[in-house]
Amino acid sequence: MENVLTIAGSDSLAGGGIQADLKTFEELNVFGVSALTSVASITPTNLTLHQLPTTVIVDQLTSILTQLPIHFAKTGLLGDLATLEAVCAQLESTTTQVVVDPVLVFKEGQSQLQATYITAVKQRLLPLGYVTTPNLAEAAQLSGMSITNKTEMVEAAKRIQATGCPNVVIKGGNRLAGDVASDYLRMGDVDYWFESPKIARQTTDGAGCTFSAAITAQLAKGQALPEAVEVAKRFVYMGITHGVSISERLGSVWQGASRQWEEETK
């Protein structure tokens, strides 16, 4: 079985973050290991981040990278510039293929990431990525343009590729207007679109984390990127459809939904 690493934060409500990643890895039959960067507490009005000291993050990465073969990793919430730089320094000394989920814009609340952090994502983290998976708002920040339609998604992906990450998936998700949740993969200079109906549920905490974790798991098992994105899209669709409601506004993706559905339809 492949070992797959997630470098991410903890989500107290467990829809997203390291919890989403590890649950997704388990469901998709890879062995998940983790380096925790920060602890996020989500309330109806706020999102608070408690950052772990950089030394603690580096210790976890050293423990993992010196003892296990890690061919694929994903990065999620890194939380601050010092963490981003320390994580990049560790990854730069490996041949690990990295799925970069930039985690700049949360639907769960505001984070306080500074412009210097976004610059570092572009200059240091994205060049290490095999693929990056920004949501629409993150893609706008990384490309420096507003994105309101599919033509702009294509242009933004090209600009993000120019940072050095060869493959880009922009998640239109709920943010792109219309009835369809459209995600766009630009792989080299080839375009792929992945579409599903929009689900009218609030159970989307963790949708992005789950999506990128599923891509990572599928890549680790040897699947090509377009097929991995297709599997991830289906996996997250089931997870939102059967997600766990918390309040009128908030709810978590349930990563066990695909398994349950497959068992029921056997």
Ligand X SMILES: Nc1ncnc2c1ncn2[C@@H]1O[C@H](COP(=O)(O)OP(=O)(O)O)[C@@H](O)[C@H]1O
Ligand Y SMILES: Cc1ncc(COP(=O)(O)O)c(N)n1
- Hey, what are 48's tokens? 């608070």
Using CB under 6 A as the binding rule, whether residue 207 contacts ligand Y is answered as yes
Output the CA–CA distances (angstroms, integers) from residue 210 to 28, 233, 238, in the order listed.
11, 9, 11
Write phi, then psi, for 37 (nearest 5 degrees). Answer: -105, -35
Q: What is the DSSP string of 154-176?
A: HHHHHHHHTTT-SEEEEE-TTTS
Residue 135 interacting with ligand X (CB under 6 A) = yes
For ligand Y, how many residues bind (rule: CB under 6 A)?
Answer: 18
Q: What are the start-end ranges of the E strands in 14-159?
A: 31-42, 47-51, 72-75, 97-100, 129-132
How many CB atoms sit inside 10 A of residue 56's CB?
12
Query: For ligand Y, which residue of 9, 129, 134, 251 counts as binding (CB under 6 A)?
Result: 9
Site string for ligand Y, 94-123 (x = CB under 6 A): ---------x--xxx---------------
Name which of ligand X, ligand Y, none residue 122 binds, using a CB cut-off of 5 to 8 Å depending on partner kind.
none
Question: Among 150, 159, 198, 221, which residue sits at the site for ligand X (rule: CB under 6 A)?
Answer: 198
Of the pair 107, 122, the CB lying nearest ligand X is at 107
Give the separation between CA 258 and CA 33, rounded to whole angstroms: 22
When CB distances are held under 5 to 8 angstroms depending on the partner's kind, the choice from ligand Y, ligand X, none that residue 239 binds is none
Q: CB of 124: closest distance to ligand Y in angstroms? A: 19
Minimum distance of ligand Y from residue 93's CB (angstroms): 25
Tokens linked to 142? 């990384």
Q: Using the rule CB under 6 A, is 40 a contact of ligand Y?
A: yes
Max Cα–Cα distance, the chain, nearest Å: 51
User: Between the CA of residue 35 and those of 18, 56, 76, 131, 227, what are the distances in Å?
Assistant: 9, 9, 10, 20, 27
- Name the residue nearer to ligand Y (CB basis): 120 or 207: 207
- Six-digit token string for 134: 């920004």
Ramachandran quadrant class, 211 (left: phi over 0; alpha: psi -120 to 50; beta: rest)? alpha
Q: Is residue 206 within the footprint of ligand Y (CB under 6 A)? A: yes
- Out of 7, 209, 215, 228, the only residue in the binding site for ligand Y (CB under 6 A) is 209
Give the nearest distance from C-beta 65 to ligand X in angstroms: 26
What residue number has its CB nearest to ligand X?
208
Residues linked to residue 49 through DSSP beta bridges, in sequence order = 40
Residue 80 binds which one of ligand X, ligand Y, none, with CB within 5 to 8 A depending on kind? none
By the criterion CB under 6 A, which residues form the site for ligand X? 107, 135, 171, 173-175, 181, 183, 196, 198-199, 204, 207-208, 211, 233, 236-237, 240
